[in-house]
Structure 1
Amino acid sequence: MISQDSNKKKTVAVIGSGMAGLVSVYLIQQDRKKRYEVEMFETQNQLSLDSASHTVTSDEDPSSSYRIDVPMRAFDDGFHLNLKRMYDHLGVQYTSPKFVYPLSTVSTTDNSRKSPPHFIHSSSNHQVPPIKPERCGYGQWILRTLYLAVCYFWFTACCFLIEPIPATIDRDDESFQVYLDRIALPKYFIGNYLLPLMSAVTTCSHDELLGFPAIDAIDYARRTYRQPHYTVVGGVQNVQAKIACAPSVRLGATVTKVEHIGSRLRVTWIDSRSTETCSKEFDHVVMAVTPNVVGAIYEPLRTTLSSIPVISGESVVHYDRSTLPDCGRSIRKFSRDVRFSPDQPQLLYICSNSSATEAIHEHPGSVLVTSFPIAPIDPAKVIHRARLARVLRTPKSRRVVNRIFSGDFEQTQQEDKTWRNGTGNVWLAGAWCWDGMVLLEGCIVSAMRVAAGLDVEVPWQ
């Protein structure tokens, strides 16, 4: 005879409704044995995966609208393997847009002044030969193109042939800065080409990027080499609609504490509408939030996760075209086309000073989205702002993350006591919860790891 307790479903709290949280809930809900009841907690009044995005309506046709993903959720075939498999499983439609990247410098004394592009790159080099910047003589343009081709070839060859120096028990991983010095890549190429392009992806300062573990940057370069990039048709709102399947979602619920109560876990939160403090016990808790938030609400990880840096940045949707560099007629045709047809090559202006990079993505309707802006933007022309948290990678934080998620390092007796993912039925998920660049693939891998820990099959594997 089966007891009543053996038929009782286990309860799972999922904190955070970004990609990692939503995929975790989706997978748990797919359990064929129907063993779990899931409840989701989100501090905002809407699910967070698509909460920063914005819909622009055409002035000429009010019935026509265009969804802008903030931040841009591009992915590829080589790096985002599990994300793409999940999209295919869900039937999410995506397209492979072409991008044109004018690279410009920003004055260090006057951030409002941007030089004309010194080079115009294209995604997957679909523009061959590269577009010649206006105000650049043919001889200079040919020499610069050859120089960049040689540097890019050398960097690519090194990525595949020269391994980053790995960590040992006594030493952390080699940093990206040390790796670049070791392969003798020219400083001009690093400062004016490599760092601006990679900073546009990682949305952090140049120094922070140079402090990444070299293995992260090199692995990303290898896996994205000559791979097409994709964006979701209609924006990630369509992804959110397909995976948002939690039967119980508490919006406006700011979790303040997760604590062990015997063999169970108590989640305490503040309801934004009633301002009341509430609590409930669960069998499992999945924290799909940034490490600083985990440390604030879950005491056993407070000290451990304090070594993982988290920065805050901003994406701004606006119409202030004075923030664009003067590109002349060389790419004006692309600018004209993108206003009316999203299928045309899209413009992504990469503007850098000596320490940081901003990316300005031009959308249909002359709408601009500036990520982590350097130059001032006219407040009267701003239509939407979104604050974004960004988890950074360092050799030290990589060691911490790998220990939590059963890293490869030899353990000492003291290190054996380190908190591991799943300890006490507490699980972590997020873009930072894996050994790689903090991008969407980490969300999917960590959610799959939660599902495996709960003995739930992943349908796209």
Structure 2
Amino acid sequence: MTPNRQSSSKQHPAQTQPQRIVKVAVVGSGLAGLTASYLLATLNTRCDVEYPGGNDVEFEVHVFEQASSLGMDSHSVSFTRGGEEWRVDVPMRSFQGGYYPQLIALYAHLGVRTRQTDFSYSFSTLSTTAGAEKGLKPEYNPHFIYDGASGRQGLSIPTADVRHAQGFGRLFAWISSILHTLLILGLFLRFLVLSAPFLRPAPSVTWEEWAAQSAPRGPLARWTGLTRAWDEFLAHLCIPIFSAVCTASADDVRMHPAEEFLEFNWKTFGTHHYVVADGVRDVVARLSAPLELKNVHLDSPVTSLKPDEHGDGLVDIQCGQSVYRGFAHVILATPANRAAPLVQTYAEQLARIRSTSARRTTEFAACLSRVAYRESIVVNHTDPAFLPNDAQDRRDLNMVTVAPEARHTFSEKHSPLVVAPSYTMTTHRLPRPEGRRTSPTSVDEAIYQTTNPVIPPSPDRVLSVSRLERALLTVDGKAAVRELYGPMGLQGSARRELGVGAAGIWAVGAYAAGGIPLLEGCVESALAVTVGENGIFAAEGGMVHGTLW
């Protein structure tokens, strides 16, 4: 679905004609960029906006996207399997109650249908590449199976724990597995208690430091093995989960601020997982509907920002040989590592013309450059070799970590479709299209989505490959994000401090808000930059009363 040809901007009830048009460029059309565009484009349709100075504003929003389709859906793909079309979102975009209040509110406001999907998980280790090298199924060792619904469905015992036992040995294996499950439950409850807000560590404490500080170290704990059990719980369950959530390596997880992981655990406990029922293209269609088609610029990579030659305090957007002029605000909805060079080059041009906003713009670029990124690989395929060997051990999400002692053998393997063995490989068994009455009649009809493969799929079973960049929260990056906001924050500082004599440069994205860089951060940062207390609307003299959604 494409944006409407007619603008959705309507006159404010108290006026007959907008007195001032403010042009805003949004560079990038992921969730953050589209949400910011939607909020600005629909402001004049609201009855609860006010301009205390009497100088009403209409925002003319332009979206610049380097891809041929709007970004949030640009990596998604469609396949035909068993006579049915499968539309597969890339990457998988699930969200969970408790941690995503603004995202959920936005979807409800837009009328986006969501579907409760309480994922089940299997956790396995992989000790050798031998099977994969010979074209055989790798030998996974499942060690924990979680049946979903925030624990309400319980846990299952991996088949390997009881497969070869007989008689009393089988009974002993069952009892041992049950006791191990109870131990895991107790350790999780301890983890949950330590995740409470008043027990969280300082913002700069890393996960590795917190893990050492939180371990029970008393003589009784050591004698009973509780210390070792806690360390193994964090290493074999928590680190793989957070590696999958952040699409980052185990080493990155250890250096990640602990506070955000504990907050995630606390807020998501007892809540449901959701996905959008009609895929992200439905979200894209609804968010882009208020935009004028002529102001949506696809296949338009922004190469530079320049001070406008004909207007004081305005910015020109250059896309190759094309130049779009006269923007009062630029919202950079691109990864911070791509936005930073644009801002830095713009700051240098401001310095050459002795603009008073050059210094703050340079500081903004330096701030953005402190945000870390990691590449991830998402492969859609039909290769069941990525699932546990026994069908009873397979779940919705199947996580695999390479045993530490075997990582050197994996590091020696070279394939464009694999990542370092310190990542968690996660394979999602994609559900059949909504409305299909039966399950796939054969394995060949099933589609799997593997994020960060540590072994390559069979080439003849690969359907699509996407390479994505994800922001990674670090202690330094976390400090940098704090510099963006507040009365003295770097977001839009020139426009806020100097008024119409300077342009506002802003940044939105998963990284540009508190917490783990996820979808919620996209919406939060878009809200802050557009209608927040120190956002674009406030900089133009406007106020919003009442709830945003």
Secondary structure at the counterpart of residue 265 of structure 2: helix
1:358 corresponds to 2:394: no
- Determine the C-alpha separation between the residues in 1 that align with 2:517 and 2:124: 26
Equivalent positions of 1:373-452 (< 5 A) are 373-406=453-486, 419-424=490-495, 425-452=504-531
Distance 1:129 1:398, change over 3 A: closer
Report the counterpart of residue 265 of structure 1 in structure 2.
315
Equivalent positions of 1:132-147 (< 5 A) are 132-137=157-162, 138-147=174-183
Report the counterpart of residue 536 of structure 2 in structure 1.
454
1:347 to 387, 396, 402: 396
- Determine the C-alpha separation between the residues in 1 that align with 2:186 and 2:271: 20
Which amino acid in the other structure matches residue 465 of structure 2? R
Deviation, structure 1 residue 8: 3.3
Distance 1:214 1:129, change over 3 A: closer
Secondary structure at the counterpart of residue 241 of structure 1: helix
Report the counterpart of residue 58 of structure 1 in structure 2.
81
1:319 corresponds to 2:366: no
- Determine the C-alpha separation between the residues in 2 that align with 1:422 and 1:151: 47
Deviation, structure 1 residue 323: 2.4
Query: Which segment is superposed worse, 28-37 or 383-392?
Result: 28-37
Which amino acid in the other structure matches residue 319 of structure 1? T
Report the counterpart of residue 177 of structure 1 in structure 2.
208
- Determine the C-alpha separation between the residues in 1 that align with 2:517 and 2:89: 18
Report the counterpart of residue 273 of structure 1 in structure 2.
none
1:21 corresponds to 2:33: yes
* 2:96/2:268 contact within 8 Å kept: yes
* 2:26/2:37 contact within 8 Å kept: yes
- Determine the C-alpha separation between the residues in 2 that align with 1:244 and 1:228: 28
**1:144-200: CA deviations, max 9, x gaps?**
202211111111111116633325xxxxx1112111211117221112111112222
Report the counterpart of residue 165 of structure 1 in structure 2.
201
* 1:405/1:434 contact within 8 Å kept: no
- Determine the C-alpha separation between the residues in 2 that align with 1:26 and 1:314: 30
- Determine the C-alpha separation between the residues in 2 that align with 1:180 and 1:79: 23
Percent sequence identity is 27
2:247 to 189, 197, 203: 203
1:12 corresponds to 2:24: yes
**1:70-92: CA deviations, max 9, x gaps?**
11111122010011011111111
Deviation, structure 1 residue 440: 0.5
Deviation, structure 1 residue 446: 0.8
Which amino acid in the other structure matches residue 106 of structure 1? L
1:155 corresponds to 2:217: no
Secondary structure at the counterpart of residue 12 of structure 1: strand
Distance 1:432 1:161, change over 3 A: closer
Distance 1:404 1:454, change over 3 A: closer
Per residue, is there more helix in 1 or in 2? 2
- Determine the C-alpha separation between the residues in 1 that align with 2:325 and 2:338: 19
Report the counterpart of residue 188 of structure 1 in structure 2.
232
Report the counterpart of residue 66 of structure 2 in structure 1.
43
Report the counterpart of residue 264 of structure 2 in structure 1.
220
Report the counterpart of residue 292 of structure 1 in structure 2.
337
* 2:147/2:154 contact within 8 Å kept: no
* 1:211/1:394 contact within 8 Å kept: yes
* 1:114/1:351 contact within 8 Å kept: no
Secondary structure at the counterpart of residue 448 of structure 2: strand
* 2:65/2:299 contact within 8 Å kept: yes
- Determine the C-alpha separation between the residues in 1 that align with 2:88 and 2:114: 14
Report the counterpart of residue 373 of structure 2 in structure 1.
310
Deviation, structure 1 residue 318: 0.4
Which amino acid in the other structure matches residue 446 of structure 1? S
**1:228-283: CA deviations, max 9, x gaps?**
1111102111111111132111111111112344411121122xxxxx35342311
- Determine the C-alpha separation between the residues in 2 that align with 1:161 and 1:47: 38
Count of aligned positions:
421
Secondary structure at the counterpart of residue 116 of structure 1: strand
Secondary structure at the counterpart of residue 374 of structure 1: coil
Q: How high is the TM-score relative to the length of structure 1? A: 0.86
* 1:351/1:357 contact within 8 Å kept: yes
* 2:119/2:273 contact within 8 Å kept: no
Secondary structure at the counterpart of residue 78 of structure 1: coil
Which amino acid in the other structure matches residue 385 of structure 2? S
The structure having more radius of gyration, on CA atoms, is 2
Report the counterpart of residue 244 of structure 1 in structure 2.
288
- Determine the C-alpha separation between the residues in 1 that align with 2:70 and 2:337: 20
Report the counterpart of residue 131 of structure 1 in structure 2.
156
* 1:134/1:329 contact within 8 Å kept: no
- Determine the C-alpha separation between the residues in 1 that align with 2:365 and 2:306: 12
Structure 1 stretches of 5 or more lacking a match? 168-172, 271-275, 333-345, 408-415
Report the counterpart of residue 96 of structure 2 in structure 1.
76
- Determine the C-alpha separation between the residues in 2 that align with 1:360 and 1:215: 27
- Determine the C-alpha separation between the residues in 2 that align with 1:192 and 1:72: 23
